[in-house]
Amino acid sequence: MPQAAQPKTGRRIAGGVAALALVAAGAWLLWPQSRQAVTPTAFLPPPEESSALVGRDGARTIAEVWRWPDTTEPATADTPAEPETARPFDEDAVAQALGNVVLDADGRIVLDRQALAALETAFNRLRGALDADDLAALQDIIRRRLPGIAGEETATIVGNYYLYRQALENFEKDQPSPAAGTDPDAEQARLQRLAALREEHFGPVVAAKFFAEEQAFSRYLLERHRLQADSSLSEQERSDRQAQLQQELEDGLLYLDEPTSPQAERLSAQLRRLREQGASEEYLHYVRSRGLGLATAAKLARSDAERQDWALRHARFEQEQRYILEAGLTEAERKAQLEALLERSFSPEELEAVRAYDRD
């Protein structure tokens, strides 16, 4: 496994996030007060909502269930002694970094921006790079300290995240980001490759939960730069296009890999009709999140046969969904019927993807 200077990588990642935040702040300050910019957090929970020791809906956190070793008892076959050789990680530091990660009612870890920040913190505290044995030892400790599915899921995501960090450092060396606004085509291609790298290491569902918001905002800033650099546009045309771009961000179209795809057009038209009908913001969020989740679920189909099967089932779902949306039902009735339709139409793995953008 390649050796990587992980603390340096962490600073680079953290620096990139900070730079993005500064650019975002500047963009919002320049935006007309009559139309305040809506960031992707319009339908994702802010990090502080999951930072408390007790998670959402009374769910526990890793800190509450972490099993600290009992130094008064000798090690057994089930709890082997730690190796004498020094590892480049400290168990206490890892436990502290992961402590605020929320567990749901079933004891599964909640994969959101809070969890991503915890992973970043944990690996920034390493004393050096991990080799394959070090990483396996860290995962074994996590499995012993966390009971049940939480331990397995956390160990897996920790391994995937470390390998992603290594791949990301190589990616940044080979494909450095151009200065903002200097080469929009190169920026767009780089963003596409970065999104693919993330899906390669985490799978489409976890990648969506971790990075979809960041990627959507990056696409938004990229298109803003294009507009600002386009001298062929009049001020009115530029203003109109900026307003349209803001609406695309609000509608979630920039969360999609191809914001101009037929699927994006269908979602946009669906939301436009619902607004015209006076739909509530809560229901608009529900329809938007399900549309984005279906796009994520489609990525689970790998083979030609799986893609063909998905296309057939999705087409049937779209037809039945249209009947429900056009029926004279209340929003609550529509939502209940759509959820029942989803349950009938898709597998549990696909349903997890469909719900990847849920607020809670």
**Average pLDDT value for residue range 121-135:** 91
For residue 301, the model assigns a pLDDT of 93
pLDDT: is 176 or 72 the higher one? 176
Amino acid, res. 106: D
Task: Judge whether 95 and 66 are in contact, CB under 8 Å.
Answer: yes
pLDDT: is 149 or 39 the higher one? 149
- Gyration radius of the chain's alpha carbons: 22
For residue 73, the model assigns a pLDDT of 54
| 28-46 tens-digit pLDDT | 323 333 334 444 444 444 4
Cβ partners under 8 Å of residue 91, min gap 6? 141, 145
Token readout for 144 is 């012993």
Q: How far apart are CA 248 and CA 95, in angstroms?
A: 40
**Average pLDDT value for residue range 243-270:** 92
Task: Judge whether 335 and 286 are in contact, CB under 8 Å.
Answer: yes
> How many C-beta neighbours within 10 Å does residue 55 have?
22
**pLDDT at residue 178 above 90?**
no
**pLDDT at residue 67 above 70?**
yes
For residue 184, the model assigns a pLDDT of 85
Q: How far apart are CA 154 and CA 57, in angstroms?
A: 21
Flag the least confident range among 170-184, 264-278, 280-294.
170-184
pLDDT: is 229 or 152 the higher one? 152
Q: How far apart are CA 124 and CA 303, in angstroms?
A: 38
Identity of the highest mean pLDDT range in 88-102, 154-168, 259-273: 154-168
Q: How far apart are CA 234 and CA 231, in angstroms?
A: 8
**How sure is the predictor about 85, in pLDDT bands with cuts at 50, 70 and 90?**
low
C-alpha pair distances (Å), 303 with each of 126, 196, 201, 347, 350: 39, 17, 19, 16, 15
For residue 109, the model assigns a pLDDT of 93
Place of tokens 């076959």: 77
pLDDT: is 85 or 267 the higher one? 267
Task: Judge whether 297 and 354 are in contact, CB under 8 Å.
Answer: yes
Could you state, in order of their start, the residue ranges of all structural domains in the chain? 6-264, 265-360
**pLDDT at residue 236 above 80?**
yes
pTM higher than the cut 0.75: yes
Q: How far apart are CA 164 and CA 171, in angstroms?
A: 10
For residue 49, the model assigns a pLDDT of 38
